[in-house]
Structures are given as structure tokens and as C-alpha cells.
Amino acid sequence: MTVILAAIDNSTACEPVVATALALAPTVGASVEAVQIADEPGVTALATAEHHHIPFRVVAGDPDARIAEQVNDGEVAAVVVGTRGRPTGPRPAGHTALALADRVDKPVVMVPPDARTPEHVERVLVAMDGSPGRAAALRQAIHLAGDAHVELIVVHVDSEDSIPSFSDQVAHETAAYAREFLYRYCGEVPARLETRVGVPAEEILAAARDMEPDLVAIGWPRSREPGHGHVVRQVLGASPVPVLLVALADQ
Amino acid sequence: MTTDVTDLRLDALHRRYEGVVLVAIPGGGHADAVAELRRAGVAVATVDWHTGAEGVAEALRLEFGRLWALGIGPSNVAVVVAAGGAVDVTPLLALDQPAVLAVAGDGVPPAGAVALADSTAVAAVLADQLRRRLDADVPVAVAEPGWALRVEAFDAQRQRVHQSLLALADGRVGAGGAPLLAAPGSERWVMAAGLYTGDGPETRLVTAPAAFHLAGEDGPGERLCRLLDLRSGLLYEEAATPAGPVRSVRFLSLARPGTAVLRALSPEPLGPVPSLAPPAEDPVLDDGTDGGVAWARVVAGEGGVAAAAVQRERESAAGHVLDRVVAYATDAATVPSPAAAVGAATEAAGAGFEALLAEHRRTWAARWDEADVAVEGDPHLQEAVRFALFHLMASVPDTGEAAIGARGLSGPAYRGHVFWDADTFVLPFLAATHPAAARAMLEYRVRRLPAAMEAARAAGRAGARFPWESAATGRDVTPLSAVDRAGRLVRIRTGQLEEHIVAEVAWAACCYTDWTGDEDFAAGPGLRLLVETARYWASRIRVNGDGRAHLYGVIGPDEYHEPVDDNAFTNVMARWNLRRAAAAVETGPADAGVADVELARWRALADAIVDGYDPDTGVYEQFAGFGRLQPLIIAEMAPRRPIAADLLYGSDLVRGAQIVKQADALMLHHLVPGEVVPGSLDANLRYYEPRTAHGSSLSPSIFAALFARARDYERSLEALDIAGRIDLDDLTETTAGGLHLATMGGLWQVFAYGYMGLRPDGDRLAMDPRLPPSWSALDVRVRFHGRRLRLVKERSTFTVTADSPVGVSLDGRPYTAGPRGLVLRRSRNTWEVQS
């Protein structure tokens, strides 16, 4: 049995993180365990775990290193973390969580503090910009979703850099593009393509608001280069639902 | 005793050749071997070495020419010299570089030649070639430089793009170039030309049972190589499998359209392989076997397609061989009987693989002989041109009617719907090279004239209104709405308002008659098309109180602006239509059914219609009020061009700005130069090109042609490069849905209209050739009024050769070109005859 690890702390993020893990678990056929990196168990964390009847453990040490160790355990399929304790928290959204995403190869689900927590994961919105590296990584998420029989909506956002050179007859052109896009990136997995043009983060967030998915999946470029990951950071800062980060190949 | 050629360790000879040239003493042996080779289908030529080295070299040149006409290039020819030490073969090496030159006899052969020991070794070489035929060896995947498209390895991401690029067609059916060993998710499709299924905007070309496949679903693996021989219409494939390489060749026979042929060779048995694979999109109506021949049928509207396959598997010294012949019988009016397909498949299979291959090669060679465009000085462009011409020729049948969709038979995108692409971009190439195919395209329009007349009546007009998108019935199948790439639901009004296609159908008819001189068509169905389209315009045009005539509420080629009034392109095309129809009626048969008063009205409307021309600037205003739009010059603003400006800036901004999708007013200078003010090209190019986003795949080729006319070669070649790469580099990101046939037709027009300056002018073909500095020569072949012409522009000379005397003109001066060639040299501003 695989495990969804709910990484919690003694904050208001406890409840949405555990709830998200519980919503995700049946989708991927996993159970849920909670972990806190601390010298002593937090009362809130412990109470939340007990409230949901899930195993809870406390691990002492450096938070970044120890949580990564826990996630890299063979049984863990994914980890759910909060992006920060409260909406008005002092640091940029997901600072610690993104550091975790840099260290682990497994999917990281990040729960913004004011996100709507799903009861079940039945509709996933996958955000893609169409570049081959991102597409390849996200294809794994798509197939995972396909295996779980969730409704899949792929949002592909063209920015100024990727706007097509040509667009002949709109009805035929969009259909041909969508057909090939879904073929390449979704294969046999049933999916719907939503195309957008604009600032990627804004368009992804707008789509997330319009289509009310239970989860947004997006590629996370594990790079220290300046400017990388800014779309993810913006999405994390305002996503109305939890965000699944899929590690992209080092670029 | 025979000597096996393998014993000779002659690797270069150890393969199958399509052509063999034997240089020998007449009667000096090998006659029986030559006769056997010919019976087996090998193209064998013999050359008498008595004529000496120079004589042999000249004879060989002739034989290479004959083999070329059979579709066999030098890379597929073995020259075997059985002349002892009597012939100095050094001059032979300066020939077209045959695949191998083997020399028997005394002395040391020159470098590059293979030494044969003696006459016995020559006999062994010939016997080896015969054995390869009898063992059903697969032809070797080679092609001449500039005549091939090679796709190495299997790319799961781009496999459908490759499938389109490597598509085969014979005018009646088309097949994607997917690997024979199917990869997961790959699609094998065959589409039947002109057979549609579905209704309204959802109408699409039907798919038929597939012919090109082998057993298994594990895919070809990464070690896969496919080579499309453009000159012979052959798709070679070599796939590495655990058992060894599987080599194959396949084609859709241009000699007998509707016939698919496959030969595959494997180290292990290939079966069990069903000879017909299910259609990609459509259900099978029924299937069965008849005398061991499998058949299946698919319905398309009232008609359908029947496919039948003869398959033979055997083991030979070469390996396990599978030969498959599939015949497709198609009929738009009724579902063909299985017997029709079974009979055709049985007959074709009875001819045998070698005969089918030979006739297919010959037919393609003949097509290229009348249509090739050779560019010296730009190998990449050369490949792009041949790639384009190949697919143009493959997509259109010679007989019946030809509904040529935007992607031809190379993919499912655009559903096979017929746009102005067919009439304006594709047809000119065929009218000027292979008139029967152009005539078939026009027949499609002629047979839908009643539907066009009904559409005009329904709109309260007279005459015929051809639809923006057409399919089986001739009624409009344009979608009414769509979600665009920006996710916006947009109303599509092209079906309602993009009426210039009415004039383009008439233009296509005239293009055909101008190139061919087909008087029967001109006086018959062509005249009907002209008259009914003119009647439509006459009923559509409104005359204001000031006496000026207008067309309100249309969409021009620049679809960023809609609706507009007095679109210059639409108005001038309508004017041309009215004038040309009036002239045709006056000079045509007496029973045209057009009264003098109607003719007079056509002429009056033509004279009165506004065309937006401003004599002060020399610019045609694209439509009424275009000059008052926000002057956003996209050449200065956009991050790059071409670019889909409506997506970049949004439709509202673009609609309010001077941002143009593609050549609009400038299209007049390309299509009807006689209708625009002489000398106005430069001013309009200067004005409109910076305002053009080139967001249509139709745009680059037209601008390449216009810049060529304006002698702005740098910009012409820049646009030409884009046009040539649209599919090869998948610039539209939709090549997986099929190839852009209109772009390909436009590419030919760059050379014919742009660089050669060709324009039919009555019984003469007007020419105005030019060459950009980076090319050393341009060689274009056309047909004009039944004569075959070859035009060669070199740096300082221009040569016109025709198979029989034909009138041409340069700078308005008449000349006659014939078989001996008319050679002209430019001296100052005039052409001087050299011979």
C-alpha cells in the first residue's frame, strides 16, 4: 500500500493539508500518514491527525532535510504540504514547500492557506506551456490521472513567445492543433484541451477559477536560475485549489 | 560453372539495381542473361564499346536519359563494362555517377571502379541481379540528391507530423506514412478523395481500410529509417527488429490510381497479417473474401469505398517476403460492389510487383518531366520545391471530378473542405503542367453549379454563389462558430461574407483555358461558370446615387477585418469577373443565353465599381475606411513575423488597426495584374507589407512572388524560405493534420509567376525572367496550349525550348520557341536572340 504523506506543522495549514491528502488518497489507491518535523509534537498537529484517524509521527531535525528523507521513503507516493501557515504569513508563498520540491522526485501537493479543500479529487486541471521538457514531465501526471479515471482538463497557455506564426481558418486550425496536442501529451487518456493566450500565471488562475477543478497540476522547474519557476510561484500565491507540483527535468 | 557474385567480394555490386547498363561487344555473350533480366523487369541497356571511349560515354548519356525517363536515377544504375582492356573507361566516370561502375578485363581499372576478373564475373553480376528479382528482393532505398525526404528514427512526439510529410497519394486515395510496424497510439489511415461523410460543417472525408501495415503493436523501435523518393513516389522503410531488419517499399500507384502496393522482406515470417486494417475513423459496412481475396466496404454518404487485398507470403533466399496489393473502388453515388475492388486487386496482383513498380516509376517520371522546377544554388529550397510539387501532383486525379481539400489527401485536418485554396493556389500549377488534373478540379465546381445557383437564389441574388467551404453537395459547410486558441468563442462569418471565392471559381476556369486553350471547355462549362458568377456579382453590387457601384458587407482575404465595405480585392475581382464574362459571351457561342442589355449592364457595373485606388499615393485602399484605422505598423511592433496577430493583440485591437492578415489588395497584383494600375506594385508593397502579419500560411508565397516581380530578391527569398518550410518544419504546429496544399501551390507560383514572369497572353506565353544573385539557374517546365516548354534562366541567358513551335513574348515582343531552343541574352534593356 502506498502512502500519501501529509507534512503538517502546528499551524492553520494542518487541517487543509490533511483534508487534501485524504481527498487524494483514494484517487491513487493510497493511505494517509501525517508527519511533523519538530522536537516535540504540536498539539494542533496531533489533534488534527487524531481527528482524522490517521497515523502521526514526529521527526526531529532540520526541517528541509528530514522531510525530504521521509518523502523519499519507498512507500510514499506523494507529499502534501501547506504553502504557509496563514494567508498573511511573512514569507513568499511556498518558500519551504518549494525547497522541498527541489529535493524530492515525487509529486508535491501544495495547499495554499485560503484554497478550497476538495472532498474528492475528481477533476484535475493540468497547466502546460507546451515546451517539450514540461510536457514530458506532465505527461506522467496525466497518465496518473488517467489511471485514476478523473476528469482531465489541460490548459495550454500561449505567451507572446509561443503565439503561433499562423492561424488560417480558426475552427479547423484550433481543432487540428488540439487534436495533435492531446495526442502528443495525453495519448489514450481522455482529456479536454483549453487554450489561452496571455500571461501564463494569470490565465492558469483564471482557468482554475472558471473550471473549478479539485487540483491544479503544474510543472516545477528545479533550477536555481533567476526567473525560473515564477509561474508556479504566482499560481501558488493565488490558486483557489491545491497545486500538484511535478518535477521537471533539470533544465 | 557459374560464379556467385558474393564470391567476388564486391560489396558495391551486392545489391539490387533497378537499371543495368552493359557495355560489351555486340554478340559477345550475355545476350541470354540480358533477355532474362528484361523479362524479370530489370531495365537493361546495352552499349556497343566498338564506338570507343567517347562514343561509349555519349551512348551511356543517352541510356541514362532513357532510364531517367523510366524513373530510374543514376544511384540505381549499375554500369558493367565487359570490354576487356579495349575501352578506356575514364570518361565514364565523368557521367552522372552511376551507383557502381564495374569493369572486366585487363589492366588496372580507374579509381572508383570495381574490377571484375573476366567475362565469367560479368555473367555472375547479371545472374545475381536476376536472382535478386526472382527472390523478390526489395528495391534499395536510394534517391537522387534533391529528390528525397529522409526521416531517421522513430519520434513518438512527431510521428504524426512525419506521417503527413511521408504521406502517399494517387489522386484517388491517400495514405499516411506511418511505420508499418505500428507504434502505440499511431494511426494508419487511408482517405478516399471526394468521398464525404457527415453533415454540414461536420462533413469530412471518409477513411477506408488501410493497406500499409504489418503484424504487431510493439512499434518499430527507435532504429527506423524512412525515405520518400519524390521522383518515384516510393516510400522505403527499414526497421530494426530483434530478428533483424525488416525492409519494405510501398506506393500508391500513379499508373493505376486506387492501387496500393507493398513489398516487405523480413528475416522471420511476417504473419499472421490481416491484409486490410480497419478504417481509422469509420465503421466497416461489410467484409468477406472472394476467391481468397479479402474485401471490406465503407459507406460515405450515398456512396462509399470498397477495398480488396491480394496478399502473398513466401520464403526465398532473400528472406520472408510479403507482397500485398490493395485496390480501392470509390463511388460517390453508390457503394461499389466488392467485385469491383476484388477484380481490380486481382488484375493488379496478376501483373506482379515488378510490373506495378515499373509502371508507377514511369508515370511519376513522366509527371516530373512536365512539371519539375530546378533551382541551382539553393539545395534546401530545391528539396522544398520538389517536396511541394510531389504532394501537389499526388493529390489530384486526372479524371472525373477532383474535390481538393485544404490538406489534400495528406491528413484529416480541415475535413477535406474545399476553399479558394484549390482554385487560386493549387489549380494554376496543374493548369500549367498537367491540364487533365486541373480540368478535374474544375469539374468539381461545374457539377456544383446548380447548388451554387440555389444558394444565390436563397440569398435573393441571381447567378451562382459558390460557398466558402465546400464538400460533397456544394452547399456551404463553413462552421458557424468555434473556440479560438485564446479560448474565446468566436462567431465565424466567412461562410456568410467571404464571397470573393465566387470570382475565384471563374478565375480558375479562365486560368485553365488561358494555359490550355481548351476551347470546348471555354465555350461550354467554363462559359457557364463565368456567366453565372458574373450574374451573381451583377445582382450583388449596389449603385449609389453618385453612380458609383459598391459591394457592402464582405470579408476579404484579410480576415482580421469583418465585415467591410468595398474591399478592393473583392471589388476588383468582381470587376474582372464581369468584364471577362462579357468578353467571353461576345466571342463565344451564340446560344450563351445572355442578352445584350445584360452584357451592357455587366460592363457598366464593372466600370462603376469603386476599387479604392488613390492616384496620389498609388495605393489601393484595402477597404473603405482602412486608411482611417489606427496606423499600427506590425513590422515595427510584433516580436516576430509571421505571427497570428489576432492572437497576439486580440481581435478587437486588430480590427481597429491597419494590421493585415495576408496579401489582400496586393493579391490583385498577383492574380489579375491586368486589372490594376500599371506600375502600382511597388507603392502597394511598400505600404502593405509592413502592415501585414503574414498570419496566414497563404501569405509568404504570395509576397515571395510579388517581391520577385519588384526585384527585391532579399525579401523575396526570405518569404520563399518560410513558404518552403511551413510543413517541413511544422511552422503551423498543425502539419500532423496534413500538409498545406495551398502553400505548396503558392510555392510553384513564386517560380512561375514571380521569377519567370509567366502569363498566358492569348496564343502567346508572356515571360519576364529574372534570377536572384544567389541562384545560378532556374529551370521551369510548363505546358502551354498543348506544347511542352522548358524555360531555363541562367545568369546571362534565357533559353526556351518547346516540343513544337509556340509563340512566346518578352517585353511585349513576339518570338517563336521550338525544339531547337530559343536562346536570348539580355543586353541593356532588351532581349537579343542568340540562336
3-state SS, one letter per residue, for A41-56: CCHHHHHHHHHHCCCE
Cα–Cα separations (whole angstroms), residue B411 to B213, B239, B391, B424, B440 = 17, 24, 12, 21, 21
Model confidence at A112, pLDDT cuts 50, 70, 90, reads confident
**Residue B334 neighbours by CB under 8 Å, 6+ apart:** B302, B303, B304
Q: Nearest CB to B642: which of A165, A180, A187?
A: A165
CA A204 to chain B, closest CA, distance in angstroms equals 12
pLDDT band at B223 (very low <50, low <70, confident <90, very high): confident
Write out the H or E segment, with its range, that includes residue B432. none
Which grid cell is B643?
Answer: 505571427
Average pLDDT score over chain B: 94
Q: Between chains, do A184 and B157 touch, taking CB under 8 Å as contact?
A: yes
Annotated active-site residue in B187, B498, B559, B598: B559
Q: What is the DSSP string of B769-801?
A: ----TT-SEEEEEEEETTEEEEEEEESSEEEEE
Calpha distance B29→B87 (Å, rounded): 17
**Cβ proximity of A119 and A91 under 8 Å:** no
B10 — pLDDT class (breaks 50, 70, 90): low
CB neighbours of residue A91 within 10 Å: 10
Mean pLDDT of A3-32: 92
- Checking if the pLDDT of B86 tops 70, the result is no
- Interface membership of A250 toward B (CB under 8 Å): no
Is residue B273 predicted with pLDDT exceeding 90? no
User: Nearest 5°: CA angle at B757, between B706 and B499?
Assistant: 55
Report how far apart, in Å, the C-alpha atoms of A184 and of each of A195, B26, B186, B320, B737 are: 15, 62, 11, 34, 13
A163, B414: Cβ pair inside 8 Å? no
Residue A119, chain B, CB below 8 Å: the answer is no
B positions 686-745 inside 8 Å of A (CB): 694-698, 726, 731-734, 736-738
Q: Higher model confidence: residue A29 or residue B335?
A: B335
Yes or no, beta carbons of B487 and A161 under 8 Å apart: no
Q: CA B690, CA B660: separation in Å to the nearest integer?
A: 9
DSSP calls for chain A? -EEEEEE--SSTTHHHHHHHHHHHHHHHTEEEEEEEESSS--HHHHHHHHHHT--EEEE-S-HHHHHHHHHTSTTEEEEEEES-SSTT-SSPTTHHHHHHHHH-SS-EEEE-TTPPPPSS--EEEEEE---HHHHHHHHHHHHHHHHTT-EEEEEEEE-TTT--S---SHHHHHHHHHHHHHHHHHTTS--EEEEEES-HHHHHHHHHHHH--SEEEEEEE---STTTTHHHHHHHHH-SS-EEEEEEPP-
C-alpha to C-alpha distances, B430 to B422, B526, B682, nearest whole angstrom:
11, 16, 29
Cell of B766: 508572356
Radius of gyration for chain B, computed over Cα atoms and rounded to the nearest angstrom: 28
A167·B157 Cβ contact <8 A: no
Q: Is the alpha carbon torsion for B438, B439, B442, B444 positive or negative?
A: negative
Interchain CB distance below 8 Å, B160 and A169: no
Q: Which residues in chain B are contacts of A167 at CB distance < 8 A?
A: 484-485, 644, 646-647, 695-696
pLDDT band, residue B118 (cuts 50/70/90): confident
Contact call for B732 and A174, based on CB within 8 A: no
C-alpha cell at B375: 533551382
CA pair distance A84, B511, nearest whole angstrom: 71
Cα of A120 to nearest chain B Cα, Å? 27
The cell for A118 is 476538495
The verdict on whether B302 is a catalytic residue reads: no
Is the Cβ pair B647, A197 closer than 8 Å?
yes
B-chain CB neighbours of A138 within 8 Å are none
Chains A, B: CB pairs < 8 Å? 113
Instruction: Tell me the average pLDDT across B355-362.
Output: 98
User: Is B414 close to A176, i.e. CB distance below 8 A?
Assistant: yes
Question: Cα separation of B644 and B145, whole Å?
Answer: 35
Provide the pLDDT for residue B585: 97
What pLDDT score was predicted for residue B6? 37
pLDDT tens sequence across B567-619: 999 999 999 999 999 999 999 998 889 999 999 999 999 999 999 999 999 99
Strand A30-37 to strand A56-59: parallel, antiparallel, or no bridges (unpaired)?
parallel
In the predicted structure, residue B686 carries a pLDDT above the cut 90:
yes
What pLDDT score was predicted for residue A73? Answer: 81
Does the CB of A140 have a partner CB in chain B at under 8 Å?
Answer: no
Q: Are B789 and B804 in contact (CB under 8 A)?
A: no
Q: Which of A151, A132, A216, A219 is nearest to A189 (CA)?
A: A151
Pairwise CB contact (< 8 Å): A169 & B487:
no
Residue B253, class by beta-carbon neighbours within 10 Å (0-12 exposed, 13-18 middle, 19+ buried)? Answer: buried
* Interchain contact A176–B (C-beta under 8 A): yes
Q: Which of B572, B480, B585 is nearest to B530 (CA)?
A: B585
Say yes or no to pLDDT of A140 above 80.
no
Asked if the C-beta of B637 comes within 8 angstroms of chain A's C-beta atoms, the answer is no
Stretch A105-134: mean pLDDT, rounded?
83
- Of A83-87, B326-330, B516-520, the poorest mean pLDDT is in A83-87
Outline where DSSP puts E strands in B497-594.
542-543, 549-550
Cβ of A165 and B482 within 8 Å?
no
Q: Yes or no: say if B96 and B9 are a contact pair by the CB < 8 Å rule.
A: no
- Mean of pLDDT values over A115-133: 82
> What element of type H or E holds B152?
strand B148-152
- Residue B353 C-alpha cell reads as 510487383
Substitution target in A131, A134, A166, A202 with the highest count of B β-carbons within 10 Å is: A166
Confidence of residue A229 (pLDDT cuts 50, 70, 90): confident
Residues A4/A21, Cβ–Cβ less than 8 Å: yes
**Interacting residues of B270 by C-beta distance below 8 A, sequence separation 6+:** B214, B215, B246, B264, B313, B320, B322
A31, A55, B276, B290, B402 from A75: Cα distances, Å: 10, 14, 47, 59, 62
- Poorest-pLDDT segment among A33-47, A228-242, B734-748: A228-242
Edge-to-edge strands of the sheet including B173-175? B168-169, B173-175, B190-197, B204-208
Mean of per-residue pLDDT scores for chain A: 86
Confidence of residue B417 (pLDDT cuts 50, 70, 90): very high
Q: Give yes or no for residue B7 having a pLDDT over 50.
A: no
Cβ <8 Å between B647 and A158 = yes
pLDDT tens digits, B368-405 = 999 999 999 999 999 999 999 999 999 999 999 999 99
In this prediction, residue A251 has a pLDDT band, given cuts at 50, 70 and 90, of: very low
Which DSSP symbol is given to B833?
E
Q: State residue B180's pLDDT score.
A: 93
Q: What is the mean pLDDT of residues B338-365?
A: 98
Q: Which residues of A touch B414 (CB under 8 A)?
A: 169, 172, 176
pLDDT digits (tens, 9 = 90+) for B290-299: 999 999 999 9
β-partners of residue B486 are none
Residue among B800, B835, B831, B833 nearest B818 (CA): B800
Reported as a single tens digit per residue, the pLDDT across B518-543 is: 999 999 999 999 999 999 999 999 99
Helix axes A95-103, A63-71, angle to 10 degrees: 50
* CA-based nearest distance A165→chain B, Å: 4
Alpha helices in B396-524 (DSSP H): 420, 427-431, 435-447, 449-458, 494-497, 500-516, 519-523
The one-letter amino acid code at B579 reads R
User: Per residue in B418-442, pLDDT tens?
Assistant: 999 999 999 999 999 999 999 999 9
For residue B174, give the DSSP letter.
E
The closest CB to that of B485, out of A160, A179, A197, belongs to A197
In angstroms, the CA B553 to CA B499 distance is 10
pLDDT score recorded for residue B113: 82
Return the amino acid letter for B64: F
- Among partner residues A158, A164, A170, which is closest to B482 by beta-carbon distance? A170
For a pLDDT cut of 90, what percent of chain B falls above it?
Answer: 84
Instruction: List pLDDT tens digits, range B731-782.
Output: 999 999 999 999 999 999 999 999 999 999 999 999 999 999 999 999 999 9
Q: Which residues of B touch A161 (CB under 8 A)?
A: 639
Distance CA B56, CA B91 (A): 9
Output the pLDDT for position B98: 82
Q: Identify the three-state secondary structure at position B642.
A: coil
Q: Is A161 on the interface with B (CB under 8 A)?
A: yes
C-alpha dihedral over B433, B439, B445, B448, to 10 degrees?
Answer: -160
Of B184, B417, B733, the CB nearest to A164: B733
Residue B573 · residue B529 · CB < 8 Å:
no
Contact A165 B695 (CB under 8 A): yes
Shortest distance between the Cα of B517 and any Cα of chain A, in A, equals 34
Sorting pLDDT into bands at 50, 70 and 90, what band is B3? Answer: very low
Between B430 and A75, name the one with better pLDDT.
Answer: B430
Q: Is the pLDDT of residue B219 over 70?
A: no
Does residue A131 surpass a pLDDT of 70? no
Question: For residue range B36-57, what is the model confidence (pLDDT) as tens digits?
Answer: 999 999 999 999 887 877 888 8
**CB-based contacts of B707: which residues, under 8 Å, 6+ apart?**
B685, B713, B715, B716, B719, B754
Does the CB of B185 have a partner CB in chain A at under 8 Å? yes
Residue B241: what pLDDT? 86
Identify the residue among A170, A188, A209 best suited for mutation to test binding to B, counting B beta carbons within 10 A and taking the highest: A170
Instruction: Return the SS3 of B289.
Output: strand
Confidence band, pLDDT 50/70/90 cuts, at residue B9? very low
Phi, psi of B540, deg, nearest 5: -90, -30
